[in-house]
Amino acid sequence: MRCPFCQFLDTRVSDTRVVNDGRCIKRRRECPNCLKRFTTFEKTEEIPLVVVKKDGRREQFNSQKILNGLIKSFEKRTISMDEILVIVGDIEQSIRQKYEREVSSDVIGEIVMQQLINIDQVAYVRFASVYRQFADVNNFMQEIQKLAKQ
């Protein structure tokens, strides 16, 4: 593995851990040339999954978009980045188990909301307000009332 700092070709693995319930391997590496450390992740290559957007466009599935949405939803909440990454991994695994080639963006949004409602209700409402594009306060209040009844 090439060092991202000095481009030296032969780095050393100092620690290896299995993460995301065995779906990924995290390796801590050190460069013998510049002595800097960095982390790499190894995971199986997935069959490309295509997301069908609301307007009919198609694009390749990108879990980074889910991660970005969750980071915004959990802003100022007591949840670690590692926990958020586990949630993203669970969501991606759920999508890939149910959908082989194509999935609609609506389905992805609903799966994310199902995860959030059980983890953090504030994050759920934040995500829902963007995902469902609440037009006014009444829509927002209806969602909160549904949440309160559960």
21-38 residue pLDDT tens: 787 899 999 999 999 999
What is the reported pLDDT for 140?
Answer: 72
91-140 residue pLDDT tens = 998 999 999 899 999 999 999 999 998 899 899 888 988 877 776 777 77
Calpha distance 147→113 (Å, rounded): 12
What is the reported pLDDT for 20?
Answer: 75
pTM: 0.65
Confidence band for 143, pLDDT divided at 50, 70 and 90:
confident
For the record, the structure tokens of 82 come out as 């590692």
Any idea what DSSP says for residue 78? Answer: S
pLDDT at residue 46 tops 80: no
67-92 residue pLDDT tens = 999 999 999 999 999 999 999 999 99
What is the reported pLDDT for 60?
Answer: 95
What is the reported pLDDT for 10?
Answer: 92
Confidence band for 145, pLDDT divided at 50, 70 and 90:
confident
Categorise residue 133: left if φ over 0, alpha if ψ from -120 to 50, beta otherwise. Answer: left
Calpha distance 76→30 (Å, rounded): 33
Handedness of CA 112, 114, 119, 125 (dihedral sign): positive
Query: What length is written for the chain?
Result: 150
CB 73 within 8 A of CB 129: no
What is the reported pLDDT for 142?
Answer: 78
Q: What one-letter code names the amino acid at 130?
A: V
Any idea what DSSP says for residue 35? Answer: -
Query: Which phi and psi (to 5°) does residue 13 adopt?
Result: -85, 125
Residues 6+ apart with CB under 8 A from 5: 31, 34, 36, 38
For the record, the structure tokens of 13 come out as 């693995």
Calpha distance 79→9 (Å, rounded): 37
